């Protein structure tokens, strides 16, 4: 589903088989093993994460490539995500100028938020960035009272990092409710943040940055 959001748009899909697809148990074990790595447990919060504790493998993106670890080419979840990314590339208009059949992963990682953590407004790319072009967020665990995803109306594409979500006026904010099994795809230049995560249980997601070569 395409949602017009300010001057861009966001694509939202729900994976019906999120709780019973073939290979789910193995996928969950691999994700948990990543959060148990000493180099993840011992790392401080990423700069975007404020308030409570968070864990991320973003600093390991070169050695721990999520689509490879989860075997996206045969994993039903991975295949579903790849198909939705392709659909989103068309919905967001990348097919007009880029060869979306030649998807290239940029950074891929897993994030986990704990109680009271929120993410400051940030972009994954600025105007003129070579890559990434699009970002896909797949929510693996979303308990009640989880942080919400909030897009910010801000056209200063030179700013990679902004303030916390409540520092922006309500009419500058567009909220999308995450839920387990939901995939959200957006232009990498879209400014977005999260509200505070208020659950005692963690909120876990995969994040996949992708790019496409220009059409010849």
CA distance 208 to 141: 16
Question: What DSSP string runs through the chain?
Answer: -EEEETTEEEEEEE-TTTTT-TTHHHHHHHHHHHHT-HHHHTSPPPTTEEES-EEE-GGGTTT--HHHHTTTTT-HHHHHHHHHHHHHHHHTTGGGTB-TTS-EEEEEEEEEE-TTEEE--B-S--TT-SS--EEEEEEEE--TTPPPEEEE----TT-SB---GGGS-GGGEEEE---TTEEEEEETT--EEE-----SS-EEEEEEEEE-PBP-
Q: Where are the domains of the chain?
A: 2-211
What integer pLDDT is reported at residue 16 of this predicted model? 96
What integer pLDDT is reported at residue 113 of this predicted model? 98
Q: 151, exposed or middle or buried, with CB in 10 Å at 0-12, 13-18, 19+?
A: buried
What integer pLDDT is reported at residue 129 of this predicted model? 83
What are the tens digits of pLDDT across the range 129-162? 889 999 999 999 999 999 999 999 988 888 899 9
**Residue in the block written with tokens 């200063």:** 156
CA distance 108 to 140: 15
Name the superfamily (CATH) of residues 2-211. q2cbj1_9rhob like domain (2.60.120.620)
What integer pLDDT is reported at residue 177 of this predicted model? 97
What integer pLDDT is reported at residue 94 of this predicted model? 96
Q: Which residues of the chain have pLDDT under 70?
A: none
What integer pLDDT is reported at residue 40 of this predicted model? 98
């Amino acid at each position: 589903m395409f949602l017009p959001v300010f001057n861009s748009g966001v694509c939202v899909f729900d994976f019906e088989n999120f709780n019973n697809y073939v290979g789910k148990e193995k996928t969950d074990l691999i994700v948990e093993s990543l959060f148990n790595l000493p180099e993840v447990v011992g790392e401080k919060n990423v700069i975007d994460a404020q308030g409570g504790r968070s864990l991320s493998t973003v600093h390991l993106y070169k050695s721990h490539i999520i689509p490879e670890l989860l075997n996206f080419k045969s994993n039903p979840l991975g295949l579903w995500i790849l198909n939705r990314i392709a659909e989103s590339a068309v919905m967001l208009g990348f097919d007009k100028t880029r060869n979306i059949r030649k998807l290239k992963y940029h950074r891929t990682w897993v994030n986990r938020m704990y109680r009271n953590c929120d993410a400051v407004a940030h972009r994954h790319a600025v105007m003129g960035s070579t890559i990434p072009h699009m970002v896909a967020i797949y929510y693996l665990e979303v308990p009640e009272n989880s942080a919400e995803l909030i897009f910010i109306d801000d056209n200063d594409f030179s700013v990679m990092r902004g303030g916390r979500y409540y520092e922006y006026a309500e009419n500058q904010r567009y909220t999308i409710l995450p839920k387990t099994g939901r995939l959200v795809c957006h232009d990498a230049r879209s400014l977005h943040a999260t509200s505070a995560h208020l659950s005692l249980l963690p909120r876990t997601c995969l994040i996949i940055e992708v790019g496409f070569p220009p059409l010849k």
